[in-house]
Amino acid sequence: MSGLPLPKKSLGQHWLNDELALDDIVAAADLTPDDVVLEVGPGPGALTRRLVKAAARVVAVELDSQQAALLPAAVPDKNLEVVQQDILEFDLTALPADYKVVANIPYYLTSNLIRVLAESTNSPSLAVLLIQKEVAERVAAKPGSTSLLSISAQFYFEVSLDQVIKAEAFTPPPKVDSQVVVLRRRPTLLFEVDTKAFFRLAKAGFAMRRKTLLNSLSAGLHMPKEDVHKILNQAGLKPTLRAQNLSLQDWYQLYKALPNS
């Protein structure tokens, strides 16, 4: 760490120092010499150094202007392009089709980044993200423990969990452990739906997590409970269920049962 800028707490920066963990993250991305990689928040470049050796091109998007300015000297490779920008404002359509994302990202960014990657007209073929362990488990959750985050991620991606990385592997150590989550883009969407209407339904269901579907959907969709009851019956779902109990297939059946779906 000598000579490097200190991680900024305001940006949620935690540098990963563990050599084996860094190697495993790159291995999870299954990179080829033809791949273009988008790295988010490269920091001082420990992961970047490995990526430029394994891929044809690395586009590193860094919000921290100081880190962005130092990175080209820290990783002097012709394969590297550094962009000083907020990743949520970065134009993903400027990247070639089937690019991959590899990143150790600040915890606060997780949900928004997954949403942006999933909903882009040029989503990545694969994303390998090192995130808070608890959030990784939420992204990969099964019915009984699902959330809007898991429904959103799994609608667009096949989700799997990779290695857990202990807090002490970082500088400074975060308060919790991290885990690698792998998002592999589905070749086709699971269902033919109006995605805006589908996720409006899901958001309504999860808006009142402690309430039953009957109550949360009635409030979220501004529909009488009698009408919601009929829709749930048509979808083959008990009105006493809660949103976290539903599978993606259940949400699809519910979507189809909606008027004008």
The 3-state DSSP class for residue 49 equals helix
Q: What average pLDDT score do residues 34-48 get?
A: 95
Quick one: pLDDT at residue 96?
98
Q: Which two tokens stand for residue 244?
A: 């976290």
Query: Is 4's pLDDT higher than 70?
Result: no
Quick one: pLDDT at residue 5?
60
Cα separation of 213 and 229, whole Å?
9
pLDDT tens by residue, 189-239: 899 999 999 999 999 999 988 899 999 999 999 999 999 999 999 999 999
DSSP letter, residue 5: P
Percent of the chain with pLDDT over 90: 84
- Delineate the domains of the chain, giving CATH numbers in brackets: 9-185 (3.40.50.150), 195-257 (1.10.8.100)
Q: What average pLDDT score do residues 79-108 get?
A: 95
How far from 58 is each of 31, 35, 52, 100, 237, CA to CA, in Å? 11, 9, 6, 10, 47
Nearest to 160 by CA among 207, 116, 126, 190: 126
Q: What angle do CA 99, 101, 107 make, to 5 degrees?
A: 160
Other Cβ atoms less than 10 A from the Cβ of 140: the count is 19
Scanning the structure block, which residue is given the tokens 């989700």?
A: 159
Report the relative pairing of strands 57-62 and 80-84 from DSSP bridges.
parallel
Cα separation of 24 and 59, whole Å?
20
Cα separation of 180 and 132, whole Å?
9
Scanning the structure block, which residue is given the tokens 């920066």?
A: 13
pLDDT tens by residue, 126-164: 999 999 999 999 999 999 999 999 999 999 999 999 999
Query: Is 12's pLDDT higher than 60?
Result: no
The 3-state DSSP class for residue 98 equals coil
pLDDT range class, residue 123, cuts 50, 70, 90 = very high
Mean pLDDT of all residues belonging to the chain = 92
